[in-house]
Structure 1
Amino acid sequence: MFIVSLSYKKANSEVDKFLESHIKFLDKYYSEKKFIFSGRKNPRTGGIILVRNVDKNSLQEIIKEDPFYQNEIADYEITEVIPTKYDENFACYIE
């Protein structure tokens, strides 16, 4: 499981220009059961995506499809997490 932290490197006005295509990118990987959740940071300096069912190399290739990546809107930090304790409602997401 991975946490992907996006940090915007352009103004929110630039982010907004690519938001619709970014959402389509997210939808693709939600439909493939690879993304668990995503959302904006508060304050709005970037976002977070929780990812499962991929290895790190595959995730790096997936990120290259993101319009935010392709248009140099955000930097990406990938952190691998191995859940050892979690709420029972979250168990369905654990590999």
Structure 2
Amino acid sequence: MYIVSLTYTASLDRIDDALPAHRDYLNAQFAAGHFVAAGPKVPRDGGVILASNMERARLDAILAADPFAGLGLATYAVTEFKATRLAPNLNLPRAEAS
């Protein structure tokens, strides 16, 4: 799994203008099973995405498709971790075969 930390590099006005496209992107990634959780940081200087287990190159390609990335509105820091404990009813996709 991955923790993706976004840091905004533009004004909140520009972020808000791109937010509908970013939300559409998030919805598509949730529907595909790539993302598990997402939301803004507090204070609102970026966001956090919890991504499911996949090849890192695939995650990088998925993140590059985010409108925030394409418009140069955010930077992304990715931390990989092995989830050894999960909440009892949390169903996460397994790693894709390479």
**TM-score normalized by structure 2?**
0.89
In the TM superposition, what are the counterparts of 1:7-22 in structure 2 within 5 Å? 7-22=7-22
Kept in 1, the 8 Å contact 2:33–2:93? The answer is: no
Q: Which runs of 5+ in 1 are unaligned?
A: none
Q: Give ranges in structure 2 of 5+ residues lacking alignment.
A: none
Q: Displacement, 1:84?
A: 1.7
Query: What's 2:92 paired with?
Result: 93
CA contact (8 A) 2:53 2:93 kept: no
Question: How much identity, in percent, do the aligned residues show?
Answer: 33
Which residue does the alignment assign to 2:61? 61
1:69/1:9 CA distance change after superposition, 3 Å = same
Runs (4 or more) in structure 1 with deviation over 4 Å come to none
Give 1:94 deviation, angstroms: 6.3
Shift of 1:87: 2.5
TM-score in terms of structure 1 length: 0.92
> In 2, Cα distance between the equivalents of 1:53 and 1:81?
9
Local SS of the residue matching 1:89? coil
The structure whose residues are more often helix, as a share, is 1
For 1:53 and 1:84, the matched residues in 2 are separated by 12
Which residue does 2:3 correspond to in 1? Answer: 3
Compute the displacement of 1:93 (Å). 1.9
Q: Is 1:6–1:77's contact at 8 Å kept on the other side of the alignment? A: yes
Letter in 1 for 2:79: T
* 1-structure distance, mates of 2:88, 2:30: 21
The code of the aligned residue for 2:92 comes to Y
Specify the code of the residue in structure 1 equivalent to 2:74. Answer: A
**Take 2:85 and 2:12, find their aligned partners in 1: how far apart are those partners?**
36
Residues 83, 94 of structure 1: 8 Å contact kept: no
